Amino acid sequence: MMERLAGIKWTNMEGHNAHAISMSRLMVEYLRRASLWAEVLGGPPKWPIFDIAGALAPEIQVDPVVAERLEDFLIAHVGGISTENACRAAVRWATLRDTAGIQLPDLPEPFEPLIVMYERGGELVPDESWAFNFGIRRVQIKPWREHLSAEPAVALDPATLDALDVAAS
């Protein structure tokens, strides 16, 4: 996960503008997935970005070398606290997921839509009205239960995401 985060162009405003539709759908899909995990946890400790791995298995920690590398990377390349927290949570999730003997609920990977969104357009920060603004589209952050859905908001494959953006242009 650390390598994936390091490969993102975090100030990619061209990508952000060109992929506004797909990025907004990816955010909706993240919120849907996070709400499914929040339901398993009996509610999130924080919403909408929260440490799912920490809530499930607080004893599992990121390797200190990776944690230090992540913090150095965040300081150098990522500016928004919500994005920084999402990156920390995604790395901790990857650590939990890769830990032998851990049994996780049969739910979709929680952070994959966020990482794909970052890969398509860099950092995103919520605005003061509790929404994520994608220029031509906003995604309202509602209470977690209002994002619950069994149906995915969007497929994460590049062809589907590109088609959304082409159709909007």
Identify the residue whose tokens are 């990377």.
Answer: 73
Residue with the two structure tokens 């901790």? 92
DSSP E strands, the chain: 131-133, 138-140
User: Hunting for tokens 């993240």 — which residue is that?
Assistant: 30
Distance CA 78, CA 148 (A): 29
pLDDT at position 136: 75
- Indicate whether 16 pLDDT > 70: no
Which domain range does residue 134 map to?
A: 2-168
Number of domains composing the chain = 1
Please, which pLDDT band fits residue 138 given cuts at 50, 70 and 90? confident
Interval 112-132 mean pLDDT:
81
pLDDT value of residue 128: 67
Q: Looking at the predicted structure, is the pLDDT value of residue 11 above 80?
A: no
Give the chain's mean pLDDT: 90
Q: Dump pLDDT digits (tens) for 42-59.
A: 999 889 999 999 999 999
168 contact partners, CB below 8 Å, separation of at least 6: 20, 21, 136
- What does the angle CA 11 – CA 28 – CA 50 come to, to the nearest 5 degrees? 75
Average pLDDT over residues 161-165: 94
- Per-residue confidence (pLDDT) for residue 162, from 0 to 100: 94
CA distances from 52 to 61, 73, 122 (A): 12, 21, 22
pLDDT per residue as tens digits for the range 92-116: 999 999 999 999 999 999 999 999 9
Q: How confident is the model at residue 80 (pLDDT cuts 50, 70, 90)?
A: confident
pLDDT of 72 above 80: yes
